[in-house]
Structure 1
Amino acid sequence: MPLLTLDKISLAFGMHPLLDGASLLIEPGERVCLLGRNGEGKSTLLKIVSGEVTPDGGVIRFEEGSVLSVLPQNLPSGDARTAYDVVASAFPETGELLVEFHHLSHQVDDASMERMMNVQERLEALDGWRLDQKVTTILGQYGVDPERTLNTLSGGWQRRVLLAKALVAEPDILLLDEPTNHLDVPAIAWLEDALTQFRGAMLFVSHDRAFIRRMATRVVELDRGQLVSFSASYDKYLELKEKALEEEERQNALFDKRLKQEEVWIRQGIKARRTRNMGRVRSLKAMRDEHRQRRVRGGTASFSVEEAARSGKLVAEASHAVFAYPEQPPVIKDLDLTVLRGDKIGLVGENGTGKTTLVRLLLGELEPTEGSIRLGTNLQVAYFDQLRGELDLERNALDNLSEGREFIDINGQSKHVLGYLQEFLFTPERSRSPVSVFSGGERARLLLAKLFSKPANILVLDEPTNDLDVETLELLEEQLSEFKGTVIVISHDREFLDNVVTDIIFLDGTGSVHEFVGGYSDWRRQGGRFPAETSGSRPDKQDKRDKDYNSTNKAASAAGTVGQSSKQKTVKLSYKLKLELEQLPAMIEQLESRVAELQGRVSAPEFYSCPPEEVSATLEQLSETESRLESVIERWMELEEQANQ
């Protein structure tokens, strides 16, 4: 029996039907990715499932006794509750008592002791100590200090606390809306690992293609009010979707041709009207109604970058540059870096490692405290802000873009502002709506429109992929690849980096900056790792150890990698470790084959028609094999690094 059934759900805002008889079944153990263009209603559908929004029509059914949890999209701001308090709040009455007892236990006055005894009695009656143990256990599993307050944690650690709250109640269904937004890569990797251990069903919205590939066992697309299911992997879904759109266009063309022929027939002269077949007339009327009710797929965004005159060949050159805030350790130290016209650079590092500071140094917005940075000539910069601070929420899209202009020049061509906004999928009516009512994706598109309307030879994009749908993402990737100027991208979207950048600059958190040729995957293949992957540090213990990247740079130098070299002492592995290193590649190959076999079985259309126990066992086996593969790869990288030292 399905865990969740949506049967002919309908919802409309004004005259615009967001959901038009949408239906969906979710079985136990499935991880369903909900895809669709910005504004199609994906977040609204999740709110309908969670009960936050009531549909106009249709039925929502849960399996009897099933538990639903939600991992919210937005992180809390200014929440002064402790991690323990947040997770305990998953149990409404018992959680409040646990939180009160937890705080009373830190007080020693008589009144507190008396109240604590009363709370203890109530907790015992509600079996509260078992829940207290569950809260403490899950916080321990996620490495979170129960006494840390949320407002002192980074976004990644806040996400851990919220996931702990969502899972502590052992839900059968978990809803997630853009869970990777604003997380750095180590936090995303941790989230993926944690979610693969979850045995319940998942329904999630995401535009992070690497995340979707790792997590989804089925793809469901929300398109023009309907839910269309693809029992396939993400890559197979893309292939099937393209074929489905081609077939739809073909059928529409045939229908339109036949309708045109019937319209010609009905408008013929006196002779035709004498012999007019009334059945054919009724058929034509039905065809007209069908054509009128057809919901045409919206157009694809189409935009280009307004390029300024070329900058000088040199954009920026740093020599032994250091930047530190007063009485603070250096954010950037001993920076030697040259940026040339046409470079496409991706900045990678955990949150708080100084990526934005480095960009400001390279653009001349900050002066180094030591060393020097020489800037090139004729630099015109356009900046994409991840916080969308460039937008005035009280003004409409038209006013945000036009700044008093009726026409704007794009690569020598004059365009009306409304027409230009339509290239970014804003209708004239939507262009006159205040930005405050826009979705995250619409705000991102508007900021891109504003960014690309300004002449620039340097584009700086800070987390540009957040909230953008896949089609707009792919177009953005294409435009950035064709852009003749310089591109500097701060992003945690692994596939976006692979598709756009030609150089990776990694900030390791100690102030050191390391440069590698290639995209994100190339950096990983060259041994690139985040400190969090090796330090295992808790959020209150910042890892200060400086990583040694000399062996990686040395190995990659044949491919043109720029690195800092130094003489290294050769360290020989013991015979036992050497033997283990020799055996690991074969083990990795076996595990990869097993993972591919299991993924093929899970992706088969008939997989979820198997008995539930067989489905659960296969999914569990896949998760365990993937975890084993990751562990073996990490061990191989560790020994390989030791062998090359």
Structure 2
Amino acid sequence: MPLSPLEFQRVFFVYETASAPVLSGLTASFGRGWTGIVGPNGCGKSTLLRLACGELEPTSGGIHRPGPVAYCPQRTDRPPPELQEFLSTDEPRACVLRGRLGLQADWLTRWNTLSHGEQKRAQLAVVLARQPAVLALDEPTNHIDSQTRDLLADVLDDFSGIGLLVSHDRELLDRLCRRCLLMSLGQVVLRSGNYSAARAQQQAEEASARAQRERLQHELRRIEREVSNRRREAARADKLRSKRHLDKHDHDGKGAINLARNTGKDGVAGRRMRQLEGRAAQAGARVDQVQVRPILKMGVALGGERARRPVLLRLDAGRLALGSDRWLVHPELVIPADARIGLTGKNGSGKSTIVRHIVDRLDLPAGRVVYLPQELDAERGATAATELRKLPDQVLGETLSHISRLGSDPRALLETAQPSPGETRKILLAMGMALQPHLIIMDEPTNHLDLPSIECLEAALADCPAALLLVSHDRRFLERLTRIRWHIVREERDSCVEGLHVH
């Protein structure tokens, strides 16, 4: 069935509290299949999705939407309005999606006890059931374990409409996307191919532009040196042709100077100088015509130090309620001062539950623990933005420097009252860098972060002397940073019991 494209026509968009537009004259056409929307936190990816689906309207310009639209946001604070109907309907597609994504009939009534991964699966299933012409997904694999990620990729691969996908999941972008919209520092470029192909093309073009600019700058410097040399020569010649240094009775010297002037040597030199200056101006213009994206200085250092006491926490063996007659059983757990612990398990297995239980039982001085929970709601984001603006000038300057080196524009964050989830994480990370914690606990720390920021965080944690307890589905992240694995699996003898095992 024919489907006209989703079209942006000279779209400008600026938030009321911001001084600069998020989108400046964007013109783009999106056809069937998936388009990856890629860029640093705060560059406008989520704004673009909300504009595409009509949740926001452009400040100027127009958007043509070819049919029904659906938007799946990053946050999972509230259940989708249609969840109850979706869970109870006998409609075939809903039944298939419930089965493929593992939804259960009571998920709405126990929404607040679901893991964030389970909430994300429910959110995605509801929007997929609508079968919209345009489907916009904002970080759909956040919180989702590797097995569910594969199931989700299969489901999304079957979508036959126009898909817009914001994600930091390189594997998902490469598998699904036919084209990628790369957003950075006010520049928006639509490229064909999956993420790896589009990124390689971008890097090759940027390298070529930098090389061309360097060649032109070299030529400009050569011409400017020649102009400078000619000016010095002209100054010496002017001095020699001046009669002021001659004795008033030196008629021969005055005659020679008059002869040089009358033969036009001064005019020839002047024309040559003007020609050189014109060539220098043209070379400068050619340099300015070659646009090169600036290379941001990235990389941060996390504050922290090794605790003097050898053990930070010793938790007796026990069990924790997971709701609906389910339990998490764990052995004695020890967090030594030099811990590098990775906590893994499927969605809903109790990872965040055991982390909160540990945080509540820590006996460390104030400021000696940095805890970053899995999900930061909109209220926490607004509070973080307010706390940032209230920092003393010196601390604020250092914090903004850290935010910049995590890949976000600190000036834009100072203007916003509601930062994105990724920006909220960067604010909290940057403020935490001023502390000297003995223990850093992070529950899915790579969620919502863009790819360069993930790499920066990875490098910072690798060099941090504090103890680490990290919950993540990112295998590469944990392999680099952890030595001990706490893994939660369902016990074979009792399907209502999850068991935590130390490796």
TM bucket normalised to smaller:
0.7 to 0.9
Q: 1:422 to 1:225 in 2, by over 3 A?
A: closer
Cα displacement string for residues 298-350 of structure 1 (whole angstroms, at most 9, x for unaligned residues): 6143210123244444444455x114479997855351344444332221234
Give the structure 2 partner of residue 305 of structure 1.
Answer: 302
Give the structure 2 partner of residue 544 of structure 1.
Answer: 496
1:349 lines up with 2:340 in the alignment = no
Contact 2:40–2:408 (CA under 8 A) maintained in structure 1: no
Q: 1:74 to 1:315 in 2, by over 3 A?
A: closer
Cα displacement string for residues 12-41 of structure 1 (whole angstroms, at most 9, x for unaligned residues): 53663544554545443x333221111222
Give the structure 1 partner of residue 70 of structure 2.
Answer: 69
- Which structure would you say has the larger RCO, counting Cα contacts within 8 Å and 6 or more residues apart? 2
Give the structure 1 partner of residue 160 of structure 2.
Answer: 199
Give the structure 1 partner of residue 50 of structure 2.
Answer: 47
Deviation at 1:202, TM superposition (A): 2.3
Counterpart selection for 1:474 from 449, 455, 461: 455
Deviation at 1:471, TM superposition (A): 0.3
Cα displacement string for residues 448-502 of structure 1 (whole angstroms, at most 9, x for unaligned residues): 1112221123211122112211001011111222323321112233443344333
Contact 2:369–2:439 (CA under 8 A) maintained in structure 1: yes
TM alignment of 1:568-587, pairs within 5 A: none
Q: Distance in 1 between matches of 2:372 and 2:54?
A: 35
Counterpart selection for 2:39 from 36, 41, 52: 36
Q: 1:80 to 1:381 in 2, by over 3 A?
A: same
Contact 2:303–2:434 (CA under 8 A) maintained in structure 1: yes
Question: RMSD of the TM alignment (CA)?
Answer: 4.5
Which amino acid is 2:302 matched to? V
Q: 1:138 to 1:69 in 2, by over 3 A?
A: farther
Aligned residues: 455
TM alignment of 1:168-183, pairs within 5 A: 168-183=129-144
Q: Distance in 1 between matches of 2:68 and 2:458?
A: 40
Contact 1:46–1:175 (CA under 8 A) maintained in structure 2: yes
The alignment partner of 1:16 has SS state of: coil
Deviation at 1:188, TM superposition (A): 3.4
Which amino acid is 1:346 matched to? G
Contact 1:7–1:22 (CA under 8 A) maintained in structure 2: yes
Q: Distance in 1 between matches of 2:177 and 2:451?
A: 16
Cα displacement string for residues 198-241 of structure 1 (whole angstroms, at most 9, x for unaligned residues): 33442200113343344444443223444434544544555444
Which amino acid is 1:152 matched to? W
Give the structure 1 partner of residue 388 of structure 2.
Answer: 397
Counterpart selection for 2:411 from 429, 434, 446: 429
Contact 2:13–2:60 (CA under 8 A) maintained in structure 1: no
Contact 2:6–2:30 (CA under 8 A) maintained in structure 1: yes
Identity across aligned pairs (percent)?
A: 24
Cα displacement string for residues 490-527 of structure 1 (whole angstroms, at most 9, x for unaligned residues): 223344334433332112366xxxxxxxxxxxxxxxxx
Normalised to the residue count of structure 1, the TM-score between the two structures is: 0.58
Q: Where does structure 1 lack aligned partners over 5 or more consecutive residues?
A: 89-131, 368-374, 409-414, 511-530, 536-541, 554-561, 564-645
Give the structure 2 partner of residue 283 of structure 1.
Answer: 282
Counterpart selection for 1:366 from 361, 364, 367: 361
Q: 1:273 to 1:446 in 2, by over 3 A?
A: farther
Which amino acid is 2:425 matched to? A
Deviation at 1:4, TM superposition (A): 2.4
Q: 1:485 to 1:158 in 2, by over 3 A?
A: closer
Which amino acid is 1:303 matched to? V
Contact 1:311–1:376 (CA under 8 A) maintained in structure 2: no
Normalised to the residue count of structure 2, the TM-score between the two structures is: 0.72
Deviation at 1:250, TM superposition (A): 2.0
Contact 2:399–2:430 (CA under 8 A) maintained in structure 1: no
Contact 2:329–2:497 (CA under 8 A) maintained in structure 1: no
Contact 2:135–2:162 (CA under 8 A) maintained in structure 1: yes
Structure showing greater radius of gyration is 2
Cα displacement string for residues 592-611 of structure 1 (whole angstroms, at most 9, x for unaligned residues): xxxxxxxxxxxxxxxxxxxx
Which amino acid is 2:386 matched to? R
Q: 1:336 to 1:330 in 2, by over 3 A?
A: farther
Contact 1:381–1:456 (CA under 8 A) maintained in structure 2: yes
Deviation at 1:394, TM superposition (A): 6.0
Deviation at 1:141, TM superposition (A): 4.6
Cα displacement string for residues 395-440 of structure 1 (whole angstroms, at most 9, x for unaligned residues): 25242xx4x47259xxxxxx85554554445656346435x33222
Q: 1:194 to 1:381 in 2, by over 3 A?
A: same
Q: 1:170 to 1:21 in 2, by over 3 A?
A: same
Q: 1:478 to 1:239 in 2, by over 3 A?
A: farther
The alignment partner of 1:437 has SS state of: coil
Q: Distance in 2 between matches of 1:172 and 1:350?
A: 32
Q: 1:379 to 1:311 in 2, by over 3 A?
A: farther
Give the structure 2 partner of residue 458 of structure 1.
Answer: 439
The alignment partner of 2:332 has SS state of: strand
Contact 1:150–1:158 (CA under 8 A) maintained in structure 2: no
Point out the more displaced range, 191-200 or 416-425.
416-425
1:228 lines up with 2:189 in the alignment = yes
Q: 1:213 to 1:487 in 2, by over 3 A?
A: farther
1:249 lines up with 2:231 in the alignment = no
Give the structure 1 partner of residue 20 of structure 2.
Answer: 16
Q: 1:179 to 1:360 in 2, by over 3 A?
A: closer
Which amino acid is 1:462 matched to? D
Cα displacement string for residues 241-293 of structure 1 (whole angstroms, at most 9, x for unaligned residues): 443433232233334444555666778747557752496587368458647xx
Which amino acid is 2:344 matched to? V
Which amino acid is 1:283 matched to? Q
1:442 lines up with 2:423 in the alignment = yes
Contact 1:315–1:340 (CA under 8 A) maintained in structure 2: yes
Counterpart selection for 2:329 from 307, 329, 333: 333
Deviation at 1:140, TM superposition (A): 5.6
Which amino acid is 1:344 matched to? R
Q: Distance in 1 between matches of 2:104 and 2:171?
A: 30
Point out the more displaced range, 281-290 or 48-57.
281-290
Counterpart selection for 1:500 from 481, 496, 503: 481
